[in-house]
Amino acid sequence: MILAIEAASAGALADLVVAYLDIGAAERQEILETIDIVSRMNKVARYLAQRLEVLRISHEIGRQTKASLDERQRRAILREQMAAIQRELGEGDGKAPEIAELSEAIGKAAMPAEVEEIARKELRRYERMPEAAAEAGMARTYLDWLIEMPWAPPEEPAIDLKEARRILDEDHFGLEKIKRRIVEYLAVRKLAPKGKAPILCFVGPPGVGKTSLGQSIARAMGRAFVRVSLGGLHDEAEIRGHRRTYVGAMPGNIVQAIRKAKARNCVMMLDEIDKMGRGVQGDPSAAMLEVLDPEQNATFRDNYLGVPFDLSRIAFIATANMLDSIPGPLLDRMEIIGLASYTESEKLQIALRYLLRRQREANGVNEAQVTFDEDALRAIIRDYTREAGVRNLEREIGRVLRYAAVLVAEGGVETVHITCDKLTKILGQPRYESEVAMRTSVPGVATGLAWTPVGGDILFIEATLTPGAGRLILTGQLGDVMRESAQAALSIVKNRAASLGIDGARFEKNDIHIHVPAGATPKDGPSAGVAMFTALVSLLTDRTVRGDTAMTGEISLRGLVLPVGGIKEKVVAAAAAGLGRVMLPARNRRDYDDIPIEARDRLEFIWLERVDDAIAAALSAAT
């Protein structure tokens, strides 16, 4: 719009222009107060110039914005026209090179005919999708998974049993029965490569080498090794995968591990299979039934892939600390191989052969700079660690080597020799000491043997009399089974009071208190029955229990000593504690061959048929 302005004089023109300008009241007042015509006109011209510049910039911005929008609309229209022309010509959309590449990859993946048909159907569906469609990315990801899975039949590498033995001996000290079973396993796979191999499950306390055994098996077989951690899993979809209808769906851990290994015949370690949980999302242990069943896993179907995948060529190896929490049907599908606690001499050899070398490399010192006395290593094993495996032992060796590394790095010394007298300065005062003799020096205390998830251990049973009305008081956070063992032991003592020389009136006038120290640790099981019976007889006859003797066994009301489990671990714990004798149920003789020779040589074994045998062997002579 053009506005024509007429004015009789220059001052009137200035006033008229100011009336139309978009300026504030203060600026208008300033112009009115300017008497000089030239000055007034200059001010009006300056405001006009500013306004014109603002209008010019606004016009330029508007023009550029309109041009940008027009360009976008033009491109969109052209893209639609091009897509229509390509559809008419049968050339698909602009994804033709990508589609061709995916089609070629599907052909090279050696998929089964059923799977390839599904993959090509999905490819045709993806081809018709616009690039900006939300489902296009999901379809492309699904095709990538199908293409990258190892569908081709695996080539079985030759198995050299001599080399397998060498690898097992190189990686692990001892474990002769375990190594023999692994060599048998490899021999069967060599003679019958297409046969159904058993699912091995290594069961033992932490730190005894279960996971590293799986890695050694993979090396011996010449196969890829993958590890799937099952500890804490509580969702079935973690095993079978999520359906593709969900946003962010992924295959299960089994399929992901196979893709990572890039081999259909890998060695798959199912770590901590005893620690799977169960939640509202399902039971993952139920999903594992199909995975570990050789009769079913040839057609395993992951929910994400939606097609069968053959797991029968995979060598599955599971690990667990204890069997109690593994469901029965799942346990039935596995062959259990037990790994027991290491003895002191075994730990020493492991430290000399493996741990020292590994920790020297980790801490930047060599064998010439830091040397160890064997007696110092024995002192670390005996006084600073108490475990079934060697993890804490390796940590303590690392602490000693770090101390030596500081001395070498400062330049004060070139060689550090670690002896027993230096350990107190480096590691502090000994953390563990044998307290068996001190504990059993008074009547009413017996030394029992217990099995824990981390190996065998010494368990003290303490009994005392207090004035009361004949109650039985049990403390020490005992489970129901252990409480029942204490009640059974007291009933046997009351029944045999006359033959044992115990005044029956003492039961009516006194309360009997049985306590198992380490009260913060829950304890349960029937194997403390013999120790509880012995502690009660010791208390009521005022005879002490021999300080060099430990015992285990379940008791019946008829006075029979019944067999218990964990004999190997319990005997190893007794030998490590410096004891000289162990009393075991006679029906556990079958476990004698499993006990390490070192522990057998150090201990005297007393086999119990009845509780009378325990009293005769454990209690000191009457005074």
Catalytic residue flag (residue 39): no
Active-site annotation holder among 95, 179, 568, 570? 570
Query: Would you say the C-alpha torsion 610, 611, 612, 618 has a positive or negative sign?
Result: positive
Q: Checking DSSP bridges between strand 308-309 and strand 300-301, what pairing results, if any?
A: antiparallel
Please report, for residues 19, 22, 25, 173, the alpha-carbon distance to residue 30 in angstroms, rounded to integers and kept in the order given: 13, 14, 9, 101
Task: Say whether 63 sits in a helix, a strand or coil.
Answer: helix
For residues 200 and 218, give the distance between their C-alpha atoms in angstroms, rounded to a whole number.
13
Residues of 432-459 as b/e, b for ≥16 C-beta within 10 angstroms? Answer: eeeebeebbeebbbbbbbbbbebbbbbb
Q: Using CB atoms within 10 Å of the CB of residue 20, give its burial: 0 to 12 exposed, 13 to 18 middle, 19+ buried.
A: exposed
Element (H, E) at 514: strand 510-515
Task: Say whether 584 sits in a helix, a strand or coil.
Answer: strand
DSSP states along 8-61: SSHHHHHHHHHHHS---HHHHHHHHT--SHHHHHHHHHHHHHHHHHHHHHHHHH
Long-range contacts of 27-33 (CB under 8 A, 24+ apart): none
Whether residue 605 contacts residue 592, with contact meaning beta carbons closer than 8 Å, is answered with yes
Task: Say whether 316 sits in a helix, a strand or coil.
Answer: strand
Whether residue 321 contacts residue 206, with contact meaning beta carbons closer than 8 Å, is answered with yes
Nearest alpha-carbon partner for 553 in 621, 492, 620:
492
As a residue count, the chain comes to 623
Nearest alpha-carbon partner for 339 in 186, 579, 179, 232:
179
Instruction: Record the tokens describing residue 390, joined without a space.
Output: 């060697």
Whether residue 368 contacts residue 415, with contact meaning beta carbons closer than 8 Å, is answered with yes
Catalytic residue flag (residue 527): yes
Instruction: Provide the 10 A C-beta neighbour count for residue 252.
Output: 24
Active-site annotation holder among 312, 485, 527, 538? 527
Contacts with 262 (C-beta within 8 Å, 6 or more apart), sequence order: 150, 224
Q: What is the DSSP letter of 550?
A: E
Beta bridge partners of 466: 511
Contacts with 351 (C-beta within 8 Å, 6 or more apart), sequence order: 377, 381, 390, 393, 394, 397
Query: Per residue, what are the HEC states of 350-407?
Result: HHHHHHHHHHHHHHCCCCCCEEECHHHHHHHHHHHCCCCCCHHHHHHHHHHHHHHHHH
Whether residue 611 contacts residue 378, with contact meaning beta carbons closer than 8 Å, is answered with no
- Which residues are catalytically annotated? 527, 570
